Structure 1
């Protein structure tokens, strides 16, 4: 066998994937190792039952990569999001739900994805200190705004969903939190002498959160700031509205 024949033979062996030392079959296996999506899902469930959340998530991700169009892949993405939520990995969980909603906008399980997204954003805004030291309205309320938006979209798109009724109740609490946040800001502006800014914040509360308990405080604070800039007629008008709308009102906040 001459040199050219040897080179040609070697090239053919490489192209065919055959080995010169054996049967020549490609023995590489897929990540799923031939297991059905159902079998993979059952393994993931077993890992969850054993408390191995990270391993379960990896198993769910294996279903997504190996059988992306199966019904098990649809459920697996929801399971990934929920278990990331349990681990307090809120941002990753919301990304998974965003992708689910984009891929499956009309499935029966899609309202749940919207609802869970709102729950996660609401949880993200909370703190272990809320009931002891701080009020979530005193901190950055971006997650509160996100939760409000997610629940509102759910109600708009799926008004008859079993999740929409609870979402409507949650909107009330979220609105109250946003209104309190605005009131904290208005109080801060009052404290530092930015009276026009405080008045504008108070107006924002009255106009955008009319059912909130913060409206009465906003009217009272608005009148106080009108006094400080000698806008006496406007101060009187604000107090008239406060008295007629909240006849039993008493101040329960301080500027300091």
Structure 2
């Protein structure tokens, strides 16, 4: 029995030693892994390889992964030639991944850090398209439309020769038309409620800010009606005169003319009116 007991005791010691050895091996391997991770963190891939890897992910349609890889280029090699382009490419990849907030943030970072550089038009284009895609109907909030329009106009004024600027005209027209339509909706609402001053302010905005849109004709007619309702005949006559001069065949002009006739008035330009400074008015009444 004692002999058996010694065997058991010896076996337990051996098992314990074996366990300690296994733990030591695991610890060494873990240390190697940690050292490897640290080494990779301290010595990442060259920026050209990281950029190429991100580009390859783009080609495979893995846009979000590509965006993060482009961000790694900028983070790991901020002073490399690839880092600057990586920022705008991350924005483009996020846009392709339908991650508008991330795309806008990355592109805005680029325009802040590198204004006027080769990729700046692309960055503004990405911001504009991200907002443009969020445009809503005229009766909804138009914050995204205004931001898209601002970026599109920046492209036209700062980078008129860029490919993106040359393609911006149609979208600018759409943005302005949507914003003008919203102003008209609100103006008509105020007019129906009898709040003529508020209505006039909305119609004035259409004429001053969006005078290339089709809404200007109606805005001038609504101004004629609102000014007549307030008893401000000279401004009503002026609105009708400007409408008739710029849109002589318009049904809105015929309706304005009829409104004035009911009160024994005719379209006539009032010198010094704000409208004659905005839209080309005739030298005398038509």
TM-score scaled by length of structure 1: 0.75
Q: Which has the higher helix share?
A: 2
Instruction: Please say if residues 204 and 219 of structure 2, whose CA atoms lie closer than 8 Å, have aligned partners that are also in contact.
Output: yes
Paired residue for 1:147? 148
TM-score scaled by length of structure 2: 0.68
Cα distance in 1 for residues equivalent to 2:39 and 2:89: 26
Q: Which runs of 5+ in 2 are unaligned?
A: 1-27, 253-286
Instruction: Please say if residues 203 and 219 of structure 2, whose CA atoms lie closer than 8 Å, have aligned partners that are also in contact.
Output: yes
Q: Does 1:85 align with 2:95?
A: yes
Cα distance in 1 for residues equivalent to 2:217 and 2:74: 52
Give the deviation of 1:169 after TM superposition: 4.3
**Greater C-alpha Rg:** 2
Cα distance in 2 for residues equivalent to 1:54 and 1:89: 8
Is the alpha carbon distance of 1:32 and 1:83 closer, same or farther for their aligned partners in structure 2, counting shifts above 3 Å?
farther
Cα distance in 2 for residues equivalent to 1:159 and 1:56: 30
Alpha-carbon RMSD: 2.6
Is the alpha carbon distance of 1:120 and 1:80 closer, same or farther for their aligned partners in structure 2, counting shifts above 3 Å?
same
Instruction: Please say if residues 90 and 124 of structure 1, whose CA atoms lie closer than 8 Å, have aligned partners that are also in contact.
Output: no
Instruction: Please say if residues 138 and 184 of structure 1, whose CA atoms lie closer than 8 Å, have aligned partners that are also in contact.
Output: yes
Matches within 5 A, 1:126-145: 126=136, 136-145=137-146
Instruction: Please say if residues 32 and 62 of structure 1, whose CA atoms lie closer than 8 Å, have aligned partners that are also in contact.
Output: no
Paired residue for 1:177? 178
Cα distance in 2 for residues equivalent to 1:34 and 1:244: 69
Q: Does 1:94 align with 2:95?
A: no
Give the deviation of 1:198 after TM superposition: 0.6
Name the SS of the counterpart of 2:64 in structure 1: helix
Q: Does 1:214 align with 2:231?
A: no
Give the deviation of 1:233 after TM superposition: 4.5
Cα distance in 2 for residues equivalent to 1:115 and 1:46: 23
